[in-house]
Structure 1
Amino acid sequence: MKFFKLLIFFLFLVTVSCKNKVPAKAGVIPQPNLIEYQQGTFMVSENTVIVSENSEEGKRIAAELISFFDKNFNLKLNTSTKIQDNAIQLIISEDGDNKEAYQLNVTKKGVSITGKTYHGVFYGVQTLKQLLTPKTLINAPILHFVHIKDAPEFGWRGMMLDVSRHFFPKDSVKKVIDILAMHKMNKFHWHLVDGIGWRIQIDKYPELIKKGAWRKVKENKKPWEDFEATYKDTEGEVYGGFYTKADIKEVVAYAAERYIDVIPEIEMPGHSEAALQCYPEFTCDGEGTSGVYCAGNDGSFEFLQNIISEVVPLFPYKYLHIGGDEVGKSAWLNCKKCQKRMQDENLENAEELQSYFVKRMEEFIHSKNKKLIGWDEILEGGLPERATVMSWRGFEGGIEAANAGHDVVMSPGSPLYFDHNQGKSEFEPPSWGGYNNLLKVYDFNPVPDAIAADKRHHILGGQANLWTEQIKTLSHAQYMMLPRLSALSEALWTSPNQKNKNEFIKRIDVHFDRFEELNYHFAGSSLAPDYNVTYNKADKTFVLELKNELGINEIRYTLDGTAPIVNSELYTTPIRYTKPINVHAQAFRNGEPIGFPLKKMFSTGFGDKCKVTYTHPYNESYSGGGEQALFNNKFANPRGDDPNWQGLPKKDFEVIIDLGEPNALSYVGLNFFQHIGATSVMLPTQVVIGISEDGKTYQIVLDETLETIKDRDPIIKRIETEFEKQDVSFIKISAKNRGQLPEWHIRNGDAWVFVDEVTVK
């Protein structure tokens, strides 16, 4: 019987060892700076003990491990303060000088995680948890013998969450902090105040949360359009929310338990409509509620100093962010009080007045034992000596500040604005701005060569920013964060000589399973099919290549318009075609679709002989790629900055396409764009399409009047027509531009027409 039990146990070990077939190092993110595997394994069992000091921190981290083993392996582990074998030991050592460094060793005696402080021990625990997940690869708590010695490259590894545009309840904020913690990020920038929402309780000024935290919801208008602060019980639809001081303390304590510092942002002197609609006496004379504090009014400074005096006790970390970006200075130039301030202080321009404002607030913040940090506009007019710069308008502001001896956090919009798209699909959820894909984030280096060698220590690290104009839910926020935060964590933690993009791709694939097990809504954009079409002049064939950003997982496709399934044609080689094809492609991972599909009709009517004649030339800034842009098989997405749009202001879009030879056609279609909320691009009012065999006499096959659509969201309008099949040598397309933007538009001036990709079959 005893032999039989030993045999069963041996077979169990063989089984679980086979299941743990992929070395755990394949999935650790961020990549440790030294990781060495040896022969042998250690298995955590119900007899394994977690050893830690009898301190609050030690017991808290031990409790995290107890919860992890219970949830993942149904093991109920005990704790002890006595060093022993068959244990997971959490050890504090005086060695080293980096409080975030740790060592993790797995031997036959068990696991030891050592750090100078519990910061390091906590990070070692995050690595241990990754060594034992995901369940798709590991179903038993078996660890390979390993030695890991690790420390971060940069001390500032952060992310900003904007809760002004759209409010996130404190439990959602905690879930964001959980994601930061699992990636060893250590800074949470909490954008609590902006023009369209005040989110923090201030006892001295109760209107800030009674009124400033709420806004009227207006039909067909974005929150920042015609913003109006109001009260929660106002008639009609009202949106908002705020954090009490108790809420703030709870979130700050929650972050501290995960060794994350919280940096509050109290916006000034601009982006302050919400506050100034509550307290308009601090606005410049005659400006109503311009959103800029009056720099000539001492009351403005008293107001902000009183606010800061209440904010400071809530946030133990040394930094306080004042914003300082995008200050509309016209109010100051038209204000008698501000003009007098400029005269009294010998200030030559509005930039120097901004510098005066920032320096005066910096002195007060310093008196509260805090350090001022602000966006790179605080450089304008002169930077306070002790100020730290957060560079968002590229790297230039950070380079200037660092070379002048100031500390800098690099946070450039490209690639670290996580509110930007991360995939090229038109099906991506609403976003703002450009395109920051996963590997672009991975390649981020916060220390540009333009910084002098003796000034590079001023680069504290980097930070991503998640602005929430378009992001209303935690699920959407997670989608925009993940997996880009994983890439950023490695860019900021791992030393450059240890980074390996190909290995990261393997590890992020494993990491996706962890996201699924944690029920995180992550983006599959890096796996979604993308395409490239070329024309082979020799045999007059078109060649379609399918790919994705990471170059992994299956892509399956159909050519009959149906949605691909797991048994559909597997893409292995480029698709050659001589007739138009309807491609529907989908990435599959572990037998399940992931990411958005590719759905395009690729036409063949345009060969190398095609020529386009424009009645009115397109604008060179929006060329779409030149005179072949209308039929290059590159489809623009619903973003005004997509380089495939061809645009012209004020005048009509009129072209004649000479096909070079007759083509038997029965269909013509093309796309137009509109985005009222962010651009001057509007749909045309009328589209006419004609076809001809001789280029002189045209048959009108479409004459469509388009209704005006006032929706603020981006629109791609497909205009298409089918007709009796016939030989066509010329296609004439005209689209009526409305000329001037209508009065109800949020902008003034010329209307633009954006057009892309004429398709024929």
Structure 2
Amino acid sequence: MLSCNNKTPEKIGVIPQPNFIEYKKGTFIITEKTVIVVDASYEAKQVSDMLQSFFDKNFNIKLTTSTKIKDNAIQLKIAEDVYSKEGYQLKVTKNGVSITGKTYQGIFYGVQTLKQLLSPKAIVKTPTLNFISINDAPEFGWRGMMLDVSRHFFPKDSVKKVIDILAMHKMNKFHWHLVDGIGWRIQIDKYPELTKKGAWRKVKENKKPWEDFEATYKDTKAEVYGGFYTKADIKEVVEYAAKRYIDVIPEIEMPGHSEAALQCYPEFSCDGEGTSGVYCAGNDGSFEFLQNIITEVVPLFPSEYLHIGGDEVGKQYWLNCKKCQKRMHDENLGNAEELQSYFVKRMEKFIHSKNKKLIGWDEILEGGLPERATVMSWRGFEGGIEAANAGHDVIMSPGSPLYFDHNQGKSEFEPPSWGGYNNLLKVYSFNPVPNAVAANKRHHILGGQANLWTEQIKTLNHAQYMMLPRLSALSEALWTKPNQKNKDVFIKKIDVQFDRFKELNYNFAGSSLSPDYQVTYNRSTNEFTLELKNELGKNDIRYTLNGNKPTINSKAYTAPINYAKPINLYAQTFRNGEPIGFPLKKIFSTGFGDKCKVAYSNPYNKSYSGGGDRALINNKFANPRGDDPNWQGVQKKDFEVIIDLGEVNATSYIGINFFQHIGATSVMLPTQVVVGISEDGKTYQTVLDETLETIKDRDPIIKRIEAEFEKQDVSFIKISAKNRGQLPEWHIRNGDAWVFVDEVTVK
């Protein structure tokens, strides 16, 4: 009905940003008397049922449907004048709401926009809509995300919840990574061992799933982990996604990353390499095995694509295999890359015979690409550029910024992740069409896709955290035309999106609001200046300088903090009176002025310099990642430094951080740390001598070593950390051990 209220509701940001939106004067209120007008088709009923459910759940309004055009209605209608099959027009006038699309897929996206205009309830108390006109369609046809269920299995209901999040963001592709080296997740009738054994692995103490992987049976006496989807499960998930206009693309990994399959059927490995995880390219049985699997997979997935992986193939096994060498000779192949190309091309012909298009990671470029293959570029943009310029379709999925298993915040309190740092605005700035793609080849860039690998992700709760809000940024990067994108507007909209996530009970990351810092030294005043900020540059940062946990009543950060004595900072961002993101907890020293010098007994490695000779005293704290540039590394030898403060300081505390990450690096904690202090630089008093126990945990660790003593005058500090020299036998690597160290603090 037409509202007589002259107050205009706050404009609520829609994500992804529509390509044309115009607000007008006037409002329309949806009531029990409002009718949903649709045709009698099955698709129409699907979409209208979802809309009815939304109003019932959020506003306790039960809307009826009709096939007759009426006033005071939400009309869903098909019209040929909408130029894109995924496009829609949404209008709100005094007569009600109309959502028009060329297809019901476009209408479905219009409904998602309508739902955002009426959410969250914290802002929209009653279903009131501004008069509005929206004309919208996506910029790219491939808007996707990959979920890896091999490393950690996600039950089908969890997969559906992931699909709900994709649908909310108008994403249309769900890449389901069903098969990898450490878990086979899809029922194959012809090869029952794949799920009887290949879907389960032995759990081994202090080892990550991929370390010493051993497929086993669910009912074995040892502790096991795993799971798989029956064909009925697959059909159920595919149908669920289809109702939300999301294509499900299965991945059946080959020729590498196949340990689980080959431990079940070792006859398809290279001779004597039953645990290699690489199919024998010289054995015709390998191809028959995979073709039989694909024959069963194809009917389960209506999507036109099938992903074969093709990445990180251990080609050395082929070079040592007589069958593979014979294949290379018979086919006149010059190297292992050409043998991989032979493998992929042979499988592509079969997949094409099943009316599917092959997709592979960009390694399938090596040795020559099948004529009809589509490339998914993950090792940067380069593979995608090469493929597109050669006339192949490409999906851009570069690790930076689209690997959602990477950290999204800098805090040491972030949950376990893998690899680098992909923050929210880095994702927002993603453009899938690099300038290096020729103008007449840009149509080959189909779009982009995020990837969520699950080495570190065991639960739906954690998966949601890694997806949100980065998926909101990606959705706008792929849907909205570049000239309609606006970072500042997005930052305002994401605040509303946080409330939507809370309302839907989604676990989202507040990392973009976690406080970050920068310290500078003023030579003229001998003072330090501390600046606080967060990625989005908004919300209140509250802090204390005595180490006490801040509250909403603590001092608000409004200007840089100057200090001449050490401070124990504890800062937290607050949103709507509640903490959000992770706190910032650091002790900032003042004893390291321009006169301070650091002398090393054993030089640090140039590749891990931490920033040079002053890296340990620059007030830049490294995070628990081996690739953090603030770590200073020493290989094999002990870490030994003398810090000359250049003047006498009354000191009672010295702290230093050490790093270990057995699961991904050769960096281990030292076995012993000794800290000494001196006034004259000749005679040292030991204030700490600590033997560190060996920790076999594979996860990253920052070990804080602290020496607290009675206050006294100090001019020199000596720190020694004993390197174990060689990695222990139980370590996943061989060779030299490293010691990583960062940031000495004194007070």
What TM-score range do you get, normalising by the shorter chain? Answer: over 0.9
Instruction: Name the stretch that deviates more: 380-389 or 531-540.
Output: 531-540
Tell me which residue corresponds to 1:115: 101
Q: Superposed, which structure 2 residues align to 1:374-523 within 5 Å?
A: 374-523=360-509
Aligned: 1:23 with 2:26: no
> 1:295, 1:85 → 2: CA distance?
66
Aligned: 1:362 with 2:323: no
The corresponding residue for 1:722 is 708
Describe the shift of the 1:198–1:665 C-alpha distance in structure 2 as closer, same or farther (beyond 3 A): same
1:105 paired with 2:91, answer: yes
Q: Partners of 1:605 and 1:153 in 2: how far apart?
A: 55
- Counterparts of 2:537 and 2:435, CA distance in 1: 30
- Output the CA distance in 2 between the equivalents of 1:145 and 1:632: 56
Partners of 1:335 and 1:31 lie apart in 2 by 54
**Corresponding position: 1:353 with 2:325:** no
Other-structure match for 1:707? 693
Q: For residues 514 and 277 of structure 2, what CA distance do their matches in structure 1 show?
A: 42
Shift of 1:330: 1.0
Q: 1:573 aligns with which of 559, 563, 568?
A: 559
TM-score (ref. length: structure 2): 0.99
Q: Which whole-Å deviations, capped at 9, do the CAs of 1:489-548 have from their partners, x for residues lacking one? A: 000000000000000000000010000000000000001111111111111111111111
Counterpart for residue 585 of structure 1: 571
Q: Distance in 1 between matches of 2:9 and 2:572?
A: 28
Q: Secondary structure of the residue that 1:471 maps to in structure 2?
A: coil
Q: 1:138 aligns with which of 110, 117, 124?
A: 124
1:531 matched to 2:517: yes
Tell me whether 389-398 or 642-651 shows the greater mean CA deviation: 642-651
Corresponding residue for 1:249? 235
Matches of 1:132 and 1:97 in 2, distance apart?
26
CA deviations 1:461-514 (Å, max 9, x no partner) are: 000000000000000000000000000000000000000000000000001000
Distance, in Å, in 1 between the alignment partners of 2:456 and 2:22 is: 44
How far does the alpha carbon of each residue in 1:35-79 deviate from its partner, in whole angstroms, 9 at most, with x for none? Answer: 011111111111111000100110111111111111111111110
Residue 746 of structure 2 corresponds to which residue in structure 1? 760
Structure 1: distance between partners of 2:681 and 2:625 = 35
Match in the other structure for 1:664: 650
2: distance between equivalents of 1:309 and 1:381?
A: 27
The percentage of counterpart residues that share the same residue type is 84
Matches of 2:407 and 2:453 in 1, distance apart?
A: 12
CA distance in 2, matches of 1:96, 1:22: 29
- Give aligned pairs, total: 747
In structure 2, the partner of 1:625 is 611
Q: Which range moves more in the overlay, 282-291 or 507-516?
A: 282-291
Render the CA deviation track for 1:676-698: whole Å, top value 9, x for unaligned: 01100001111111111222222
Separation (CA, whole Å) in 1 of partners of 2:579 and 2:100: 42
Counterpart in the other structure of 1:602: 588
Whole-angstrom distance in 2 between the partners of 1:568 and 1:236: 52
Give deviations 1:268-313, integer Å, cap 9, x for gaps.
0000000000000001001131000000000000000000000000
Which residue does 1:160 correspond to in 2? 146
Match of 1:4 in 2: none
Structure 1 residue 13: Cα displacement: 6.4
- Contact conserved, 2:542 with 2:552, CA < 8 A, in 1? yes
For 1:678 and 1:259, locate their aligned partners in 2 and report how far apart those are by CA, in whole Å.
Answer: 39
SS of residue paired to 2:711 = strand
User: Deviation of residue 96 (structure 1)?
Assistant: 3.8
Residue 287 of structure 1, aligned match among 250, 269, 273: 273
SS in 2 for 1:164: coil
The answer for the alignment partner of 1:3 in structure 2 is none
- In structure 1, what is the Cα distance between the partners aligned to 2:639 and 2:29? 70
Offset at 1:460?
0.3
Tell me, yes or no, if structure 1 residue 34 matches structure 2 residue 20.
yes
Mean alpha-carbon deviation: is it higher for 37-46 or for 244-253? 37-46
Distance in 2, matches of 1:213 and 1:573, equals: 56
> 2:673 is matched by which residue type in structure 1?
V
Q: Spell out, residue by residue over 1:361-420, the C-alpha distance to the aligned partner (whole angstroms, 9 max, x if none).
A: 000000000000000000011000100000000000001100111000000000000000
- Larger displacement relative to structure 2 (613-622 or 313-322): 613-622
Q: Secondary structure at the match of 2:348?
A: helix
**Cα deviation, residue 724, structure 1:** 2.2
Q: Which moved more, 1:431-440 or 1:91-100?
A: 91-100
1:635 is matched with which residue?
A: 621
SS of alignment partner, residue 644 of structure 2: strand
SS at match of 2:593: coil
Higher mean displacement: 191-200 or 598-607: 598-607
Q: Name the amino acid aligned to 1:303.
A: F
- Structure 2 CA distance, aligned partners of 1:512 and 1:416? 21
The Cα offsets for residues 236-290 of structure 1, whole Å up to 9 and x where unpaired, read as 2110000000000000000000000000000000000000000000010011310
1:692 matched to 2:678? The reply is yes
CA distance in 1, matches of 2:57, 2:258: 46
* Amino acid of the structure 2 residue aligned with 1:472: K
Secondary structure at the residue paired with 2:673? strand
Greater Cα offset, 569-578 or 178-187: 569-578
2:689 pairs with 1:733: no
Does 2:183 align with 1:197? yes
Post-superposition shift, 1:741?
Answer: 0.7
Please list every run of 5 or more consecutive structure 1 residues that lacks an aligned counterpart in the other structure. Answer: 1-8
Whole-angstrom distance in 2 between the partners of 1:207 and 1:97:
49
CA deviation string 1:704-759 (max 9, x = no partner): 22121111111111111112222211111111111111111100111110000000
Shifted more, 194-203 versus 665-674: the winner is 665-674
Write the distance in 1 (CA, Å) between the matches of 2:456 and 2:52: 39
Equivalents in 1 of 2:298, 2:674: separation in Å? 63
Query: How many Å separate the matches in 2 of 1:96 and 1:509?
Result: 32
Contact 2:82/2:89, CA 8 A, preserved across alignment: no
Q: Aligned partners of 2:267 and 2:136: how far apart in 1? A: 54
Using the alignment, how far apart are the partners of 1:503 and 1:64 within structure 2?
29
RMSD (CA atoms):
1.2
Amino acid of the structure 1 residue aligned with 2:199: A
Judge conservation of contact 2:82–2:88 (CA < 8 Å) in 1: no
| Counterpart in the other structure of 1:553 | 539
Q: How far 1:159 sits from its partner (Å)?
A: 0.1
4+ residue segments displaced more than 3 Å: none
Secondary structure of the residue aligned to 1:62 is helix
Match of 1:234 in 2: 220
Question: Any gaps of 5 or more consecutive residues in structure 2?
Answer: none
Q: Secondary structure at the match of 1:386?
A: coil
Instruction: Report the equivalent of 1:681.
Output: 667
Matched, 1:541 2:527: yes
Question: Structure 1 CA distance, aligned partners of 2:243 and 2:123?
Answer: 30
Report how far residue 560 of structure 1 moved.
Answer: 2.3
